[in-house]
Structure 1
Amino acid sequence: MAESPTTPLRAVADEYWEALLRVNPTYATFLGDRRFDTQIEDISIAAEAEQEVQWIVLRQRVADLDIADDDLAARVTRDLLLETLDDALGHIAHRTAELRYDQMDGVHAGLLTTAPQINAPEPQNALDLVERHRRVGDLLDAAAERFRAGVAAGRTPPRLVVERALNQVDGYLASPLDGDPFTTFAGPEGWDGEDQWRDDLRTVAADVIRPAFARYGAVLRDELLPVSRSDDEPGLSSIPGGDELYRFLIRSHTGLDLDPAEVHQIGLDELARVDEQMAEVGARLFGTTDRTEIFDRLRTDPALRYDPDRPEEPLDDARRCLTSARAQMDQWFGRLPQSPCEVKAVPDVLAADAPAAYYFPPAADGSRPGTYFVNTHDAGERNRFDTASVAYHEAIPGHHLQLAIASELTDLPAFQRFSFGHTAFVEGWALYTERLADEMGLYATDLDRIGMLVNDAWRACRLVVDTGMHALGWTRQQAIDLMVAHMPVGVDEITVEVDRYVAIPAQALSYKVGQREILRLRADAAGALGDRFDISGFHDAVLGSSTVSLPVLGAIVADWVARREAA
C-alpha cells in the first residue's frame, strides 16, 4: 500500500481502522481480514462506553493535526475521519443500539444476512468460525438487554417492526438444519477435515445458535410486542427524544443538517416533476397521459409480471442487463473495477421480508466477488418493468462500480475504502446511475424507461413518507396511501416498503438527497467548464476518493473543476 504524504494523519487513520475491526470482528471477516474470526461483536453498555472513550481520544488527535498545506487527498481523509468519528459518537449518545430489533438492521437480521456471505478459505479459518458461532448467543442476549433498556426509558418499538422481525426469527427456527446458513457457507477446498467441521457447525447451530434465536424471539414476542406502538404512531416523534434522534439520523445518513419539513416539501415537488415525465412516456407506451390509467395498466397487466412457475426468470433478466451495461462502460468511466459482479437469488430464509434486490461488495482479499441479490420469492408478483433500473442501481454502473472501485483504491486508508457509511453518497450515486443508464442507452424500451421513472417516484415518495411518519405525526396508513397514489405497485409491496422506513428512519430519504446533490454538482461543473467538461472525468472524480460525505464530495468536484480550468 502506498504511504500517505501526511504520515501522522495516516497513522491515526490506520489506528482508527484497527480499533473499528476489533469491535466489529464479523465485518473484518466479511472484508477478508481473518484475525478476529473467533470473536463476535460486544454491544453491551459497558463495551460501548469503552468505545466512546476511544473515539473521543482519536477524534481529538485528528482535530489537532495541522494539514493546511497538504493536498486534497489528505484534507479529504481528515474531514472524513472527523465526520466518521462524530457519527459513531452520535450513535452512542443517542443509544441507537437499543432500537436494533427491526427486520432491516436488527441484530438477528444482520446475522442471518451475513452468514451466507462468510467463507473459510483455510482450515484454521473454518475452525475459528466454529468458535465464533459458539458466541452467537452472547450477542443476541446482549441485544435483548439493550432492547429492555430502551423500553425502560420509554423508547417502545413499533408493533409492525417487531412482528416482521418475529417472522424472520420464526422462519429461521422453522427451517431445516441441513440448510442452515450458519452451516452451509463455503469451506476450504479439498480439506479432509470438512466432514467433521460440518458436523461441528451443525452441532453448534442446533445446541447454541437456534436456542439463542429462540430466546431472542421470546423477548420480541413476550416483552417488546406487548408494549409496542400501534400503526397510528409508527414514527420516532412518538417516543421521548424522538425529534432530536430523527434530526441526528438525517445527518448521519446524509451528512447534512436538514429540516424535515423542508425535505418533505422537496419530496412533493419531486413527485410532481416525475409525474409529468411519466405522463409523457405513458402516452407513447399505453396511449394515455392519465396517471390512473397508466398505473392501472402497470398494476394489472399480467404480461408485465414474471411467470410464477419460472423463478429463475428475474435472475436471467438481471444478468442480461449487466451484460449490456458492461459493454458501454468504457465510454462513461475511465476507471473500472477489477472485481466481477455475480447475480444470485436472495436466500429463502430472508426472501419473504427482504427487498426486491440488494448488493454485497467484494471482499478485499479477492475471496468473494461483488454480489447482486435478486428476490425471486413469489415471482408472479414481481414486475418486469423495473428489472433494468434496479439492476443498474444495485450493480453496474451503480453500487458494484462504486463500492468495488472504493475497495481497490489501495493508496487510501482502509477506513476510507471500506467504511460505506455515507448513505447519501452511496445510495445517491446508485439512484443517479438509474438516470445515467438512460443517457447510456441501456433502456431498450419505454417499458424499461417507465420502470426508471417509477423507481425515481419511489425515492421521491420516501422523502414525503419518511419525514411524514418520523417528524410530522403521520400514521402508517397515511404513508401507504401516499405511495399508492404515486406508485403503480401492489399495496402489499408498498406496505413492506413503508415498514422499512419505520424500521430504519432517515435511511431511505438519503437516496434522493444524494442523487440531487450529484446532479447539482454535475450541472455546476458542466456550466463552469463548457466544452472542457468531460463526463468520464467527472465520474472518476466522484468515485476517486472512495465513499465520501456530500460536503466532502462538493470539495472534491470543486478541486476537479479548478484543475480542468487551469489545464
Structure 2
Amino acid sequence: VLPRARGAQEGLVGLPDGDACYRAAILKHVGLAKTPAELHALGLAEIARTDQQIAALGKKVLGTADLAATIGRLRSDRALYFHSGAELLAAAQHALDRAKAAIPKFFSVLPQTDCVMAEIPAYAAPYSTVAYYQQPHYDGSKPGEYFVNTYKPETRPRFELEALTWHESIPGHHLQLAIAQELGALPMFRKLDGSTAFIEGWALYAERLAEEMGLYTADLDRIGKLSYDAWRGSRLVVDTGIHALGWTRAQAEAFMRAHTALTEVNISNEVDRYIGWPGQALAYKVGQLEILKLRAEAEARFGKAFDLKAFHAVVLGAGAVTLPVLADRVRAWMAG
C-alpha cells in the first residue's frame, strides 16, 4: 500500500472528483454555497485583522509589538500557564459565575436549566480535548455541564481560559442549546441537533460578546480571545489550503504556528482533524461572521432604538437553524 500512497498531498484536491466533493462538504457544514477561494480569502482577511490586534496588545502587555515575539512569549512563558488543577478549576468556576451574573442584562430569554462546571474524569483526561460542553438531559433532569481538563495543568494557558469558558458555557453553548431544548414548539430532533455553523458560530460570537459584557479580566485574557479568534480564522485558510489548493501538512502547520498561540501538539491535532474531516472546521468562523453581519444590519436599521436583548431572542428563538434561515428570521424581525 505504501508505494501507492499520495505523499505530502493529503487533501481532497488530489482525488477524482475531489473539488466537487469538497464543495459539497462546504455546503453541508457551512450551509452557504461559498467557494473555496472565497473562504480562503475571507480567512486571510480575518488573520490580517487578528495579527494586527494581537501585536497591538502584545506591545501593551508583553512589551513587544512584534507578532512572532508575542506568540513565542505566549507559548514559552511558564508564568502564563496554570500550576495546579485546583487553580485551573477555581479560575474556570469564577469565570462561569461572573457570566451567570451578567447575562440578564443582555438576554431577555434565559434557560431554566442550570450550567455547572465539572472536571473531566482522570481516566479520560489524557485523551480528551481541553474542555467540552454536554447539554442538559432533554427532560430537564440533568443540568448542562461544562467539563474542564486539568491533566498536566502546566500545559494549559491562563490567558485562554476565559474565552474558552464563555464559548463552552455561558453565553455560548449552554445558553444556546438549553434555550433550544426548552422551546416547546420545536420537534425533539430540532431541540437536540442542528446546524454546525449556527451552534459553533454562536459560541464564537459569545467569545466576542463577552467583551461587551465586561467579562474579560485583563488585556492578557483579551489576547487569549484574539488567539482563539485567529485559530478559527486560520481554519478557513488551512482547510481550503489542504483540500482545494494542495497545501501540505507542513504548510498548514507553519501557517497556524505563525498566526496563533496554539501549542505544537494542538496544531498537529488540528491539522489531523482538517485532513480527516473536510469542511467541518469552516463552520465556526463563517457562522460567527454571519451573526455579526446580521447584527450590524439590525443596528443600522434601528439606530439608537436597537435592542440587543430582542436581537438575541430572535437569533436563539428557533433552535440551531441554518444560516439562510437565520438571515430570513432576523430580516423578518427587522421588517416588523
Give the TM-score normalised by structure 2: 0.95
Q: Which amino acid aligns with 1:233?
A: Q
Query: Which of residues 186, 194, 207 is equivalent to 1:412?
Result: 186
Post-superposition Cα deviations, 1:402-437, rounded to whole Å, max 9, x if no partner, equal 0000000012222322223x0111101100111110
Post-superposition Cα deviations, 1:327-382, rounded to whole Å, max 9, x if no partner, equal 11111000011111122233445434432222111111123221112222222111
Equivalent residue number for residue 13 of structure 2: 237
Equivalent residue number for residue 280 of structure 1: 56
1:288 positional shift: 2.1
Distance 1:395 1:440 in 2: 15
Equivalent residue number for residue 143 of structure 2: 369
Distance 2:311 2:267 in 1: 35
Distance 2:4 2:306 in 1: 54
Query: Which of residues 409, 421, 426 is equivalent to 2:199?
Result: 426
Equivalent residue number for residue 320 of structure 1: 94
Q: Which amino acid aligns with 1:245?
A: C
1:331 aligns to 2:105 (yes or no): yes
1:488 aligns to 2:261 (yes or no): yes
1:252 aligns to 2:50 (yes or no): no
Residues 292 and 414 (structure 1 numbering): CA distance in 2 closer, same or farther, change over 3 Å?
same
1:451 positional shift: 0.4
Post-superposition Cα deviations, 1:209-267, rounded to whole Å, max 9, x if no partner, equal xxxxxxxxxxxxxxxx9699566122222333332222111111111111011101110
Q: Which amino acid aligns with 2:72?
A: D
Task: Look up the SS of the partner of 1:386 in the other structure.
Answer: helix
Residues 411 and 374 (structure 1 numbering): CA distance in 2 closer, same or farther, change over 3 Å?
same
Residues 526 and 228 (structure 1 numbering): CA distance in 2 closer, same or farther, change over 3 Å?
farther
Distance 2:279 2:248 in 1: 16
Post-superposition Cα deviations, 1:274-329, rounded to whole Å, max 9, x if no partner, equal 1111122112211221112211221111111111xx22332221111110001111
Residues 350 and 505 (structure 1 numbering): CA distance in 2 closer, same or farther, change over 3 Å?
farther
Distance 2:257 2:7 in 1: 17
Distance 1:338 1:517 in 2: 28
Distance 1:359 1:238 in 2: 36
Q: Which has the higher contact order (CA 8 A, sep 6+)?
A: 2
1:231–1:477: 8 Å Cα contact kept in structure 2? no
Query: Which of residues 283, 286, 301 is equivalent to 2:77?
Result: 301
Equivalent residue number for residue 498 of structure 1: 271
1:402 aligns to 2:173 (yes or no): no
Distance 1:384 1:231 in 2: 38
Residues 506 and 228 (structure 1 numbering): CA distance in 2 closer, same or farther, change over 3 Å?
farther
1:292 aligns to 2:68 (yes or no): yes
Residues 527 and 471 (structure 1 numbering): CA distance in 2 closer, same or farther, change over 3 Å?
same
1:503 positional shift: 2.4
Query: Which of residues 158, 164, 170 is equivalent to 1:384?
Result: 158
Residues 286 and 561 (structure 1 numbering): CA distance in 2 closer, same or farther, change over 3 Å?
same
Distance 1:278 1:298 in 2: 11
Which runs of no fewer than 5 residues in structure 2 stay unpaired?
A: none
Q: Greater CA radius of gyration, 1 or 2?
A: 1
1:454 aligns to 2:230 (yes or no): no
Distance 1:468 1:489 in 2: 19
The percent of aligned pairs where both chains have the same amino acid is 50
Aligned residues: CA RMSD: 1.7
Distance 1:228 1:368 in 2: 51
**Alignment coverage as a number of residue pairs:** 336
Distance 2:152 2:24 in 1: 37
Query: Which of residues 134, 141, 148 is equivalent to 1:360?
Result: 134
Equivalent residue number for residue 289 of structure 2: 516
Give the TM-score normalised by structure 1: 0.57
Which runs of no fewer than 5 residues in structure 1 stay unpaired?
A: 1-224
Distance 1:532 1:414 in 2: 35
